[in-house]
């Protein structure tokens, strides 16, 4: 399973841009066949750098993360982290919200690769609405 929209902008303040994107069927479920999961792409871009990574979340992590996302959005406080559960990367995107102010940090790609992108930026709670909407099935 992947997100339905080809590309969904989560945040674009003119400096930092964070998007989700759909992943083709031949790139899904390739990590551990037979285990249910959701596969989606994450892309980050600023004026100097851009990068993307494909994330896979297996069911036993998916429910916990979705609950944490919804709770953080509702309470305007909290944190959660999207970790790629696949074997080919150690990418992640972390979200920490305090009183509606959101700090986002992450790494796209693997630390053991010569191509990875580490980023961080400040946002607000409006980023979480489209994230939840696209990942909640």
Q: Crossing angle, helix 59-75 and helix 128-135, to 10 degrees?
A: 150
What pLDDT is recorded for position 24? 79
Backbone phi, psi, residue 47, to 5°: -70, -20
Instruction: Report pLDDT digits (tens) over 27-65.
Output: 665 555 666 678 889 999 999 999 999 888 877 778 889
* pLDDT score recorded for residue 103: 98
Please check whether residue 80 is in contact with residue 72, taking contact to mean a CB–CB distance below 8 angstroms: yes
pLDDT per residue as tens digits for the range 68-120: 999 999 999 999 999 887 666 788 999 999 999 999 999 998 777 778 899 99
Which has more pLDDT, 22 or 3? 22
Cβ partners under 8 Å of residue 12, min gap 6: 18
Q: Domain extents for the chain? A: 7-135
Prediction pTM value: 0.87
Domain over 7-135 is classified CATH 2.30.31: yes
């Amino acid at each position: 399973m992947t997100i339905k929209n080809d590309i969904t902008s989560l945040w674009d303040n003119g400096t930092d841009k964070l998007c989700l994107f759909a992943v083709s069927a031949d790139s899904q479920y390739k990590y551990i066949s037979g285990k249910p999961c959701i596969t989606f792409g994450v892309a980050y871009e600023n004026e100097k750098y851009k990068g993307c990574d494909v994330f896979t979340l297996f069911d036993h992590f998916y429910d916990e993360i979705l609950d944490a996302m919804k709770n953080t959005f509702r309470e305007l406080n909290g944190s959660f982290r999207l970790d790629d559960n696949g074997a080919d990367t150690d990418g992640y995107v972390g979200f920490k919200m305090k009183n509606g102010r959101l700090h986002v940090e992450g790494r796209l790609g693997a630390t053991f690769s010569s191509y990875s992108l580490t980023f961080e930026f400040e946002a607000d709670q409006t980023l979480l609405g489209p994230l939840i909407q696209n990942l909640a099935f």
